[in-house]
Amino acid sequence: MVGDPSRFSTVDSSKQRGLSVKMLVTGIAKGVRYTSTWLSAALVVCGAIEAQAQSNVGSIKGRLVWGGSAVPAAKNLIDVGQANKDPQVCAKSEPIPARDQAVDPATKGVRYAFAYLVKPQGANPEAVKALIAKTPRVEIDQKNCEFIPYVTAMIQDQPLILKSSDPVNHNVRFSAFTNAPFNQILPPNGQVEVKLVAERRPIPLNCDIHPWMKGYIMVFDHPFFAVTKEDGSFEITGVPAGAQNLVLWQETVGYVTAGAARGMEVQVKPGATTDVGEIKLVPKG
């Protein structure tokens, strides 16, 4: 019927619904556009902050080299088949080398030394995050009756896993200044997790069952550290620009760098690598 009010009510309702949907879609589109603009702006700001942070850091590199008259010859602690304890495992098929003076004859580089900053001026939270993301936990294995790796540097935010891949009993013992003493038997293929806090000096590791076994751990509250490589080289990245104090420590002589525990001053330039050159390790005696 022409005069039927319900027909006009239905048409009006349809128009209203169409208008509402159109308004809703328009609002969503505007919201998406505003959100996208906001996110883009936020990303630009974050990128600028990150770029600024990166421009305020630099790197320190150098090389620890033998300063004696003659490079010490490599030697073994235990030759193959000569272990006086558990010879069916220890040095059964390969020798156990001495690592206290690991000097590369070709480059005179000294391996297994700690390079680190003392009381660094400034911080780098992103470097800490990257370090933990790359190595969420640190592992020291006992294999062929050796501590592997021989020297370990870590930040206190990383758990330490002490494990044994050998089919014989070991024990791990250490005594430190800040951390509580530790002495625990590790059965074959056993492991234990340890939480350590920063120490000012390296922590010696020992196994009383196999007395030739030793190693070192150094725990930091910052990410500015390294261990010297086979050629004696090291690099510490992400260091806040400005004056920093660098220390090199090696087990046979202790502090190698001038200033002993205080370290040698290094000026770090933003966005650049400061090369401290060759630092000589002069043997005692």
Q: What is the pLDDT of residues 62-99, one digit of tens each?
A: 999 999 989 999 999 999 999 999 999 999 999 999 99
Q: Which of 21-25, 75-79, 152-156, 223-227 has the lowest mean pLDDT?
A: 21-25
Give the span between the Cα atoms of 271 and 239, in whole angstroms.
10
Of residues 5 and 101, the one with the higher pLDDT is: 101
Residue 49: what pLDDT? 44
| Backbone torsions φ then ψ of 225, nearest 5 degrees | -155, 165
| Backbone torsions φ then ψ of 226, nearest 5 degrees | -160, 170
Range of the domain at 28: 1-55
Same domain, 152 and 203: yes
Residue 41: what pLDDT? 44
* Structure tokens, 206: 């020992």
pLDDT tens-digit series, residues 112-139: 999 999 999 999 999 999 999 999 999 9
Same domain, 29 and 103: no
The last residue of a domain, from among 17, 40, 55:
55
Residue 285: what pLDDT? 72
- Indicate the number of domains in the chain: 2
The last residue of a domain, from among 55, 77, 94:
55
Residue 145 has pLDDT above 90, yes or no: yes
Give the span between the Cα atoms of 52 and 66, in whole angstroms.
39
The last residue of a domain, from among 35, 55, 75:
55
Q: Which of 31-35, 114-118, 253-257 has the lowest mean pLDDT?
A: 31-35
Same domain, 178 and 47: no
User: Average per-residue pLDDT in the chain?
Assistant: 88
Q: What is the CATH number of the domain that holds 154?
A: 2.60.40.420
Same domain, 119 and 185: yes
pTM (whole model) above 0.85: no
Same domain, 47 and 83: no
Same domain, 116 and 131: yes
Segment 18-42 shows an average pLDDT of: 51
Same domain, 240 and 257: yes
Same domain, 20 and 33: yes
Residue 11: what pLDDT? 41
Give the span between the Cα atoms of 178 and 196, in whole angstroms.
9
Same domain, 89 and 138: yes
Same domain, 216 and 236: yes
Same domain, 277 and 169: yes
Same domain, 44 and 121: no
